[in-house]
Structure 1
Amino acid sequence: MKARYKTIVDELAASIRCGDLPAGTRLPTHRALSGEKHVSLATATRVYAELESMGLVSGETGRGTFVREISLPTGLGIDQHIVASDVLDLNFNYPALPEQTDLLRDALRQLTTSGDLTALLRYQPHAGRLNDRETIASHLAHTGITASADDVLIVNGAQHGLAITVMGLFKPGDVIAVDALTYSGFKTLAAAFNLELEAIPVSEMGPDLNALRALCQRRRVRAVYTMPTLHNPLGWVLNSDQRKEIAAIAREHDLLLIEDAAYAFLASNPPPPLAFFAPERTIYVTGFSKNIATGLRVGAVVCPAPYRTLLERAIRVTTWNTPSLMTSLVCGWIRDGTVNRLESLKREDAQRRQNIAREVLKPLPYISHPASYFLWLPLAEEVRAESVVRSLLEKNISTSTAEPFTTSQNVPHAIRIALGSVSEDLLYQALNTVRETIEYEQYRS
């Protein structure tokens, strides 16, 4: 059973995070909290000490205890990116291979001696040039996507693909069903465009589809945002039956499906994508940031014909046309097999990093896919995620709490660790520090 003081800590932390207790609020005195919650004075003191260690409150001698100006200091979430050279980044993934720099140099040299460079300097069609869309459609065919060039819209990365989908197809107040733990970038988009997110409970194996059915019966849901192939942050790969059921629910309730495939290349031989099971209502979004390089902001949206004009209009509004030079590079690498080779090498790289994590973190339970660039580390009940992340940041290791990924009211105490942005030697050292820090926090509690 959860200790009484932990329940009080979680209640106050939730009120601070959601804004019910805004920054600057003076909290009850220790004695007043003791009386209000029917606990001892020592327990009330421990509650405030815990909240202070989480970075949510600060005690001022002679004045009292106040809610901090921000609930998460810089670096404890994913919205702020630590870029200092002495910080080991286990927060964001930007996996790179040593040969990529030479590949880029060679590709740029080749561009200068072949092709129509002048054409790359002009405005392009909003959805991209036809031959580039044909190349990307051909590349996606091996994933189970049956699409013509007309179905493909080229965008400035997968995040831009999600943005034009939200901008082009939804109105403020629309309800989107999402996993209770989901990609933080989609949460940010929903907030920016005033969409309402309804959380679907999750397990290690996938979303609770009975809960999704019940939600659709209870509310007018417009769409489901999902990552069926290598979910971020939980790493699941849904089986064919789960995908078929999602497609059936979508048809029954006339839902759009937004399929985010940013990390799908890491899964070997997954089932066909949702777009295969429900092509008439699936917006399939992918990119070339993770499988090639994060600096190449090229992505693709595959959409049914009825939505194409709306999405092209959103591309025009946000960026007018695709990045022609970068797209030309990517399509050249698709045609000569470089993309397939990089994807294979990165799957091997991710597997090695997961092996390191398994070796170093084996005393701790965590959730991951054997070839993903991240893992989800639930913490013991007595350990607060903010305290762990703050302590790691003091040791120059950047990680993220669960808060940026959480769409339900209850934020789990867990941390998400990115494995793809430091060398393997540094990853080994950093994960050792993560384990030692968590073990110390367990001992301290």
Structure 2
Amino acid sequence: MWEADISKIAGPRYLALASAIAEAINSGELPSGTQLPPQRELAEELDLTVGTVGRAYSIVKKRNLVVGRIGHGTFVCDPQNDTTSSNNLPETEPGTIDLARYRNPIEGLAESLISAMTEAADNAILLPLHGYPPANGYLTHRVAGAKWINKSGLKALPENVIVCCGAQQALLVALAAFAKGGDEVLAEELTYSGLKSISAVQNLILKGVKIDAGGIIPESLDAACKKSKAKILYLQPTLHNPTTATLSEARRHEVAKISRKYDLILIEDDTIAALMPNRPAPLATLAPERTIFITSLSKSISPALRVGYLLAPPNFVERLVSTLHAITLANSQLVFEVASTMIMNGATDDVISKNFIDLKRRHETARLKLPEAKMHQNPAAFFSWLELPEHWNAHDFSQALRTAGVSVVPADNFAVGDQLPPRAVRVALTPAPNLKALETGLDIVKHVLEGFPRPKMAVV
């Protein structure tokens, strides 16, 4: 039987229990077909009334997460067989523990967002909601964006900040403004998969630059610039996704020097780094005249806030704003108002602090569960980079894990060009707020890691 824990969930107890059930189903902790505890037993376990448990069960039944069978109990629904209405949960394989995608693991985040939404609703009446806003965002939102960017060590002015719907839109705008179809773009040989998607849509040619455990190799960058006609370099110098590498100060100076030598435009993706304490100064501090700095709230606060900020050199701003306007005309300002509220009242600082503490604990759990594994970690990253033994390749290992009930991201998703991807996978450590789903998932990873691939079928 499932053991519920609602001690850290705020609000009425019946809503807390309903939220815990939904979260357990979402994370794979409660696979389809699982029987929930009888209401009376769960009430005694949690020191609640039977009526409170009944109200919680009623809520998750209305959302089509569970179904009651007379004389048998309450069971988790199979979303594949649900033909009545949506249950609002993501489409994942039933029973799969998701160690592929990010979710903020901290308790109480929903309450923080609701509080910010309430405050933002009071402020929204002051906004001209029913007219198209300026493409780069209202001044109040750019002021909040500048404040957020300044946490990285930069000194951002609101007039150089552009507010976007997430870092992905900011990256799209930057590439659309300064590259056209057929152009080459340099990037680390393992790079953010979203860059690969945008490049495919825009018909850009990605050229990989060699990396090692310390990030992009300056000598390889110089060699790539000599061979390529690329005028843009995209990179993640701090908490590289997927390897967790962070460039040293010496390498940052070298990259800035090379970018000036070849007149490169730098696109610095800083979206993962907001949780990192005592972080190095961004590349944008070393080459401010040519660096487009991109950050967002999606990883550090919540994917519910699809808010990104783009900081550009003054001579780039007009071109970027015109490109954003051409792509979107204008973004909805309501979510920007919520994000600005949280930044200005300090709520984001509280979430970041709690998130870092929780992620640090999850990395410790991963190390305890996989003590012999070759794993690259940083407590500020939501993932680890797991190198595989020689008898596994990334594709076969991820497929074997999926069969066993766990999803991860193989190195293939990050590899640039035709190079053979390394034997490695990215393992996200945030399938659910509680550690139980993570521990179960890592146990499965360990079991598969110690095994061997199935023999391939012989072809005669």
TM-score grouping bracket, smaller chain normalisation: 0.7 to 0.9
Indicate whether 1:434 and 2:434 are aligned.
no
Q: Distance in 2 between matches of 1:334 and 1:285?
A: 17
Alignment of 1:324-339 (within 5 A): 324-339=333-348
Q: Is the 8 A contact 1:263 1:290 kept in 2?
A: yes
1:316 Cα deviation from its structure 2 partner: 1.3
**Aligned equivalent of 1:381, options 377, 390, 397:** 390
Aligned ranges 1:281-360 → 2 under 5 Å: 281-360=290-369
Task: Find out whether 1:280 has 2:292 as its counterpart.
Answer: no
Q: Deviations over 1:260-283 (max 9, x none)?
A: 011111221111101111000000
Secondary structure in 1 matching 2:437: helix
Matched residue SS, 1:154: strand
What is the CA deviation profile of residues 80-123 of structure 1, one whole-angstrom value per residue up to 9, with x for unaligned ones?
x8524532111111224221111222222223334525523432
Could you tell me whether the CA contact under 8 Å between 1:91 and 1:398 is conserved in 2? yes
Partner in structure 2 of residue 127 of structure 1: 136
Change (3 A) 1:385 1:142: closer
2:109 & 2:131 partners in 1: Cα distance? 28
Q: Structure 1 residues 82, 382: CA separation in 2 closer, same or farther (over 3 Å shift)?
A: farther
Question: Which amino acid is the alignment partner of residue 203 of structure 2?
Answer: N
Paired position in structure 2 for 1:415: 425
**Is residue 112 of structure 2 the alignment partner of residue 103 of structure 1?**
yes
Alpha-carbon distance change, 174 to 331 in structure 1, aligned in 2, over 3 angstroms = same
Does the 8 A contact of 1:230 with 1:266 survive in 2?
no
2 CA distance for matches of 1:385 and 1:263?
23
Distance (whole Å) between structure 2 residues aligned to residue 354 and residue 219 of structure 1:
39
Which secondary structure does the structure 2 equivalent of 1:354 belong to? helix
Return the match for 2:102 from 93, 101, 120.
93
Task: Tell me if the contact between 1:237 and 1:270 (Cα under 8 Å) persists in the aligned partners.
Answer: no
Deviations 1:23-57 (A, max 9, x none): xxxxxxxxxxxxxxxxxxxxxxxxxxxxxxxxxxx
Aligned to 1:237: 246
CA distance in 2, matches of 1:143, 1:352: 23
**How far apart are 1:137 and its partner, in Å?**
0.8
> How big is each residue's C-alpha offset from its partner over 1:105-159, in whole Å with a ceiling of 9 and x where there is no partner?
2222223334525523432110000121112212322312122111000000001
In structure 2, the CA distance between the partners of 1:206 and 1:113, relative to structure 1 (3 Å rule), is closer
Matched, 1:221 2:233: no
* TM-score, structure 1 normalization: 0.79
Distance 2:255 2:114 in 1: 44
Q: Aligned partner of 1:342: which letter?
A: V
Whole-Å separation in 2 of the counterparts to 1:230 and 1:136: 21
1:85 to 1:295, Cα distance in 2 relative to 1, 3 A: farther
| Structure 2 CA distance for aligned equivalents of residues 179 and 367 of structure 1 | 17
**Shift in Å, 1:435:** 1.0
Report if aligned partners of 2:216, 2:247 keep a CA contact under 8 Å in 1: no
Distance 1:359 1:443 in 2: 27
SS at match of 1:271: coil
Cα 1:334–1:252 change in 2 (3 A) is same
> Please, what is the CA RMSD of the aligned residues?
1.8
Residue 431 (structure 2) pairs with residue 425 (structure 1): no
Q: Deviating runs (4+, > 6 A) in structure 1? A: 442-445
Equivalent position SS for 1:318: helix
2:189 and 2:416 in contact (8 A); partners too:
yes
Question: What pairs up with 1:13-412 in 2 under 5 angstroms?
Answer: 83-84=92-93, 86-116=95-125, 119-408=128-417, 409-412=419-422
Q: CA deviation at 1:444?
A: 7.9
What residue number does 2:21 align with? none
Does the 8 A contact of 1:389 with 1:401 survive in 2?
A: yes
Unmatched segments (≥5 aa) in structure 2: 1-89
- Give SS of 2:128's match: helix
Q: Find the aligned partners of 1:301 and 1:114 in 2 and give their Cα distance.
A: 24
Residue pair 1:354, 1:371 contacting (<8 A) in 2 also:
no
Maintained 8 Å contact 1:92/1:418: yes
1:443–1:322 CA distance, 2 compared to 1 (3 A): closer
Distance 1:143 1:361, change over 3 A: same
- Using the alignment, how far apart are the partners of 1:171 and 1:113 within structure 2? 43
* Secondary structure of residue in 2 paired with 1:119: coil
Mean CA deviation greater in 100-109 or 249-258? 100-109
Distance 1:399 1:255 in 2: 34
| Alpha carbons of structure 1 residues 432 and 444: separation in structure 2 relative to 1, 3 Å | farther
Q: CA 1:380–1:303 in 2, change beyond 3 Å: closer, same or farther? A: same
C-alpha distance in structure 2 between counterparts of 1:360 and 1:437, whole Å: 13
Distance of 2:100 and 2:377 partners within structure 1: 15
Cα distance in 2 between the residues matched to 1:212 and 1:111 = 45
In structure 2, C-alpha distance between the alignment counterparts of 1:155 and 1:355, rounded to whole Å: 35
Note if contact 2:356-2:379 (Cα within 8 Å) is conserved in structure 1. no
**1-structure distance, mates of 2:156, 2:119:** 29
* Residue pair 2:386, 2:424 contacting (<8 A) in 1 also: yes
SS at match of 2:374: coil
% identical aligned pairs: 30
Q: Which moved more, 1:381-390 or 1:230-239?
A: 381-390
Residue 432 of structure 1 aligns to a residue whose secondary structure is helix
Distance, in Å, in 2 between the alignment partners of 1:424 and 1:295 is: 22
Contact 1:82 1:398 in 2 (8 A): no
| 1:392-435 Cα deviation digits (max 9, x unpaired) | 11222111211110014112222111112323111011011001
How far apart are 1:239 and its partner, in Å? 1.8
State the 1:352 CA deviation.
0.8
